[in-house]
Amino acid sequence: MAEMLLKVIQDNFSTDLLARLCAVSADGPYQANGFCGKLLEKLGIEDNELALPVIWDAAHILNLAVLDVKDSNTDSGQHFQRFIKRCNVFNTILANGKGFAFLQLTDSSARRPVSYACQRFASSSYEQWEKIEKSFASYWQAFDLLYPNRREDEEYQYMIAGSDFIMDLLAFLDTMKPVVDLMLRVQSLDTPVWKLKLWWPSIKALMAKASNEYPVSLPKLNKVMGSLKAGCTYNAVTLLPGWLITNVEGCGGNKTYT
């Protein structure tokens, strides 16, 4: 395809035009590298890194920053991964089959829960959290119908209705919103990558404020912060103690968790 496009340019314009082409990579550099290689071949250029560098588009650069945090082995990375694991429980038990039937029975307008899509932009995965926030009460009612005789140590219930989960959910929604809004803005194909440098300082300032003025600068979390405790209610759901299993001892019905 790259060769065909270059031939069209050569047939309709002067050969010198090839040396002045300018383009934007719209889906990361992997696809663009092939076009770049063919162009370098036609122009007889060997120093490809300096002659025609292929860079990430602005949306991918932002997403790489999110992935650097999420996939790291730091406390922040592990917390991010644990939060995703908890969010995915809704998809595991309620997105299909009997679980989804109970969800529809509980609330026909409830949005089907989705899993965190690692292959998609963080802006798309952000929608998973919004669905959980909007349909949390319906999700819990469906879960309650699905497991009416669950044991007190049933892990799922603490993963999705622990007071710490709601706190994390609202904190992630508040913290990531400026980044997601910027990511959506720079996904426009006519947005040059340098715009990211122009717009990023304001986003950085918002995130610094969120860190220094916690939780006041996080509107969703701050609104209900005082009531996010075990035994209190959130969206008509009685919250449970927080969930974080660090050790399991015993086997079968004699397991103990810490």
Residue 247 sits at φ, ψ, to 5 deg, of -160, 140
pLDDT, position 39 = 72
> Is 28 a domain residue?
yes
Q: pLDDT tens digits, residue range 96-127?
A: 999 999 999 999 998 899 998 777 788 888 99
> Is 256 a domain residue?
no
pLDDT, position 7 = 79
Domain that holds residue 123: 1-247
Could you tell me the CA-to-CA distances from 21 to 10, 24, 91, 235 in Å, in that order? Answer: 12, 10, 46, 56
> Is 40 a domain residue?
yes
> Is 258 a domain residue?
no
Residues 6+ apart with CB under 8 A from 34: 2
> Is 72 a domain residue?
yes
Q: How far, in Å, CA of 172 to CA of 128, rounded?
A: 11
pLDDT, position 150 = 92
pLDDT, position 54 = 64
> Is 255 a domain residue?
no
> Is 257 a domain residue?
no
Upper half-sphere CA count for residue 67 (Cβ side, 13 Å)? 11
pLDDT in tens, the chain (258 residues): 667 777 787 788 776 776 676 655 555 555 566 777 777 777 777 765 666 666 677 888 888 889 999 999 999 999 999 999 999 999 999 999 999 999 999 999 988 999 987 777 888 889 999 999 999 999 999 999 999 999 988 899 999 999 999 999 999 999 999 999 998 888 887 777 788 889 999 999 999 999 899 889 999 999 999 999 999 999 999 999 988 766 666 665 555 554
Bridging pattern class, strands 233-234 and 256-257: unpaired
> Is 253 a domain residue?
no
Joined together, the tokens standing for residue 255 give 């397991």
Closest listed residue to residue 245, CA positions, set 119, 115, 154, 126:
154
pLDDT, position 178 = 93
Q: Please tell me the pTM assigned to this model.
A: 0.79
- Total domains in the chain come to 1
